[in-house]
Amino acid sequence: MKRLNSTFLTSLVAISASASDVSTSTTYSTVTPTTTLRRPYCKMTQDKDNGTTNGTTDTLAKNIKQANEILKTSNIVCFDVDSTIIQEEGIDELADFCGKGAEVAALTKEAMSGGMTFQEALKKRLDIIKPSQKQIREFIKNHPSTISPNVQELFRQLRANNTEIYLISGGFDCLIEPVATALQIPLSNLFANKLYFHFNGSYAGFDTQQVTSRSGGKGEAIKFIRQKFQQFNNNESAIITMIGDGATDLEASPPADYFIGYGGNVVREEVRHRANYYLTNFNQIQL
């Protein structure tokens, strides 16, 4: 770990000590003291709408049977978080909460029309929101994430099949940690962006070294996960599947062996069109 210069150390506090230690040199995840939000604020949907999708959304699904086979043979399944594992888009909700919803929405639109890197877009949005540590705490308390239906049951089945589960998100670890905790995902299996705060709690930027802060970052995370698996399994190569609603999830395959689209919260037509496999409800998987 590269040494951080001490003035930097005294001016910044990482909000969480989660261990998505991707970059080998300059992650600041071990910066102390850390303020950790360990409250399990998270709404669990009852996994009860089993098999009861009414056909409207089912018609959007693609190759469910093959998706089941893929998940059966995968050693590792990586999930996107916002609009996949949870029903919300964290950054939009946070922007709303901080009274910057419209401004951020306009910028997101601009970013999507091109001419901005992922990291530039992230920086600009955060510079608008400038969330303080206190706002983050209140946001988590007042707007707990809602876990998508049947996620817990799917995770149970994957674990029973000896499959490792990772969460890979372009969102913020402080918002995702309660979700990971509720779903019993160790923080070492979470890749997400890290916010920094000054000691007085005001926003101080984000960790630009996290792979998830860059274009193609989810793919980089998957390469790292693959290496780690190989290292611990006598060079055996892993079969890795990425599941998510967005273009960044689709673009993570390759290096992921497979991509399965998920449209249970929002259907992004471009993603659905390009995906070979598409689910609209996690209960479509029965391993």
Ligand X SMILES: *[C@@H]1O[C@H](CO)[C@@H](O)[C@H](O)[C@H]1NC(C)=O
58 is catalytic: no
Q: Does 198 participate in binding ligand X (rule CB under 6 A)? A: yes
For ligand X, the closer of residues 41 and 203 by Cβ is 203
For ligand X, the closer of residues 168 and 238 by Cβ is 238
Q: Does 7 participate in binding ligand X (rule CB under 6 A)? A: no
Contact residue for ligand X among 2, 72, 159, 273 (CB under 6 A): 72
- Active-site residue, selected from the candidate residues 47, 80, 173, 257: 80
DSSP labels for the chain? -PPPPHHHHHH-EES-------SSS---TT-SS--------EEPPPTT-TT---STTGGG-B-HHHHHHHHHH-SEEEE-TBTTTBSS-HHHHHHHHTT-HHHHHHHHHHHHTSSS-HHHHHHHHHHHH---HHHHHHHHHHS-EEBPTTHHHHHHHHHHTT-EEEEEEEEEHHHHHHHHHHTT--GGGEEEE-EEE-TTS-EEEE-TTSGGGSTTHHHHHHHHHHHHHHHHTTTPPPPEEEEESSHHHHTTTTTSSEEEEE-SS---HHHHHH-SEEESSGGG---
For ligand X, the closer of residues 25 and 235 by Cβ is 235
Q: Does 163 participate in binding ligand X (rule CB under 6 A)? A: yes
Which residues in 119-158 contact ligand X (CB under 6 A)? none
Query: Which one of the spans 33-41, 72-80, 89-97, 177-185 is the region binding ligand X (CB under 6 A)?
Result: 72-80
Q: Which residues bind ligand X (CB under 6 A)?
A: 48, 50-51, 54, 56, 72-73, 75, 161-163, 198, 200, 202, 234-235
